[in-house]
Amino acid sequence: MSPIVAALIAVVIGVALGFALTRFLFRDRTARVREDSQRILQDAEKQAETLRKEALLEAKDQIFQMKQDAETEAKERRKELTAIENRLLHREENLDRRVDSIDKREHQLSSQIGQVQKREHDLEELIEDERQRLEALAGMTSEQAKTILMSRIQDDVKRDAAAFIRETETRAREEADKKARNIVGIAIQRVAADHTAESTVSVVHIPSDDMKGRIIGREGRNIRAFESLTGINLIIDDTPEAVILSSFDPVRREIGRLTLESLISDGRIHPARIEEMFQKSEVAVTQQIQEAGEQAAFDADVHGLHAELVRTLGRLRFRTSYGQNVLKHSLEVAHLAGVMASELGVDTKLCRRAGLLHDIGKAIDHEVDGPHALIGADLARRMNEPQPIQHCIEAHHADVEATTVEAVIVQAADAISAARPGARRETLESYIKRLEKLEAVAESHEGVEKCYAMQAGREIRVMVKPDDVDDSTAVVLARDIAKQIEEELEYPGQIKVMVIRESRAVDYAK
């Protein structure tokens, strides 16, 4: 037998022995495990039974304790409910007693109401009897007596109102006049103007009447060329050594005046020479306008004006209003407005600027329809002037109601400059018409006997009938006349209304 075979046999025998031994050992261990498992199960069952019995006992104790707690709580609730019941019963008894008391009071009130109604009825009958007796004694009905009483009350109220108005006006006038007089006095003293009314220069003097023929030219060619170039009318009449220029445009009239004076001094008058002199005069006047506008803005201490506004302002140098030069008037208004603004503590620069520009519309009012105040405001609006400046311009003649202090200051400055002595002149015809209209307004009121316009229309004295107008009514009459004058008339400055009531007792000794 070879060694290999022997080894294989040995291995097989070893494996068989090992398997048998392992199986025997496994059977022995399995038996022991089974015994241990059964013993553990028995112990667990015993322990579980013990825990079950203990839990059951504990649950019974808890149930017993909860039952006792519930019974205690129920007893307390029953006590509370009993107390609530007792309180409700007590309240119900109180309510019953109150209801009985209210019923008794209602019965008493019903009885009293009946008595009161009976008394009211009796009182109404007594009042009616008394009223009829009074009407019989007075000889008039109650409505007539009421009308008389209301009339007397109205008279008393008017009298009291007039007295109150007079007292209030007197007190306000004393305070306001003092302050206004001070401010205006300071403004006028600081802005003392030395110029008076000016006349529009429309007459050109010539060395001799022979010059008139040369101005007219052969078959009128010179005068036709002059009028077509300048746009003005040249009037040549019997006035010795004078030629009249007529035009609504003051700038054109000034250009024509310079042109004609240059032609007369040169001596050579023909269409070509007229055109040459016209061009030179136009350049000179344009330069004068620019310089006048710049100088006015400088004198008024107003800066930053639009170039078009400066040129338009310069054109006012050749514009007059009732003989007053408008550019000088605008400068004066600017200074007056600035002084009054500084005294009142408002914007001085704004007032000076608005005062300088307030009449800017007069430079172009012959070209645009409408009041010069609104024309000037529209021009300022197009030149991007601030809104307060526009408002001051449009409101300085009350075309628009003034809503700012600055606008009122410009109004006052304009009135002061226009109304001061010598500032303006007025035609005799318009002056007489204004005085007649002033007297007619005063005479239109009831109770007026006579009236007289005095001091060139700056004062109206009204004589009233003393039997028709008493002292209190005179105060009201003065206010009514002044208000009507403000609404219907146009006038420079202010008009003083004086109502005079005079009573005279006359008797004769015989």
Beta strands in 252-391 (DSSP E): 320-321, 324-325
How many whole angstroms separate alpha carbon 344 and alpha carbon 184?
A: 11
What is the distance between the alpha carbons of residues 509 and 507, in angstroms, rounded to a whole number? 7
Residue 186, class by beta-carbon neighbours within 10 Å (0-12 exposed, 13-18 middle, 19+ buried)? middle
Q: Are 330 and 358 in contact (CB under 8 A)?
A: yes
State how far the alpha carbon of 72 is from the alpha carbons of 65, 67, 189, 461, in Å: 11, 9, 109, 111
What pLDDT is attached to residue 8?
74
Contact by Cβ (8 Å): 400, 394: yes
The bridge status of strand 459-464 relative to strand 233-235 is: unpaired
Compute the distance between CA of residue 391 and CA of residue 401 in angstroms, rounded to an integer: 9
Reading across the β-sheet that carries 459-464, which strands appear in turn? 448-454, 459-464, 496-501
pTM over 0.75: no
Burial class for 490, CB neighbours closer than 10 Å (0-12, 13-18, 19+)? exposed
8 Å CB contact between 484 and 447 = no
Query: What architecture is the 198-299 domain classified under in CATH?
Result: 2-Layer Sandwich (3.30)
Q: Where are the domains of the chain?
A: 51-99, 198-299, 305-425, 428-501
Q: Which amino acid is at 440?
A: A
Q: Which of 218, 208, 201 is nearest to 267 (CA)?
A: 208
pLDDT at residue number 334: 92
Ordered per-residue pLDDT tens for the chain, 510 residues:
566 767 777 777 777 777 766 766 666 677 777 787 788 888 888 888 888 888 888 888 888 888 888 888 888 888 899 889 889 998 888 898 888 889 888 888 888 888 888 888 888 888 888 777 777 776 667 677 777 778 778 777 777 777 777 777 777 777 766 666 666 555 554 454 444 334 444 678 788 777 878 888 888 888 888 888 888 888 887 777 788 888 777 788 888 888 888 888 888 888 888 888 888 888 888 888 889 889 988 988 888 888 898 988 888 888 877 667 888 889 999 998 998 888 888 899 999 999 999 989 888 877 788 888 889 999 999 999 999 999 999 998 877 888 898 999 998 888 888 766 555 555 556 767 888 888 999 999 888 988 988 876 778 999 998 888 888 888 888 999 999 988 888 776 678 899 998 877 777 776
Q: Which CATH class is domain 428-501?
A: alpha beta
φ, ψ for residue 17 (rounded to 5)? -60, -40
State phi, psi for 397 to the nearest 5 degrees. Answer: -120, 20
305-425 folds as Hypothetical protein af1432 (1.10.3210)
The CA distance from 371 to 289, in Å, is: 23
How many other C-beta atoms lie within 10 A of the C-beta of residue 311? 17
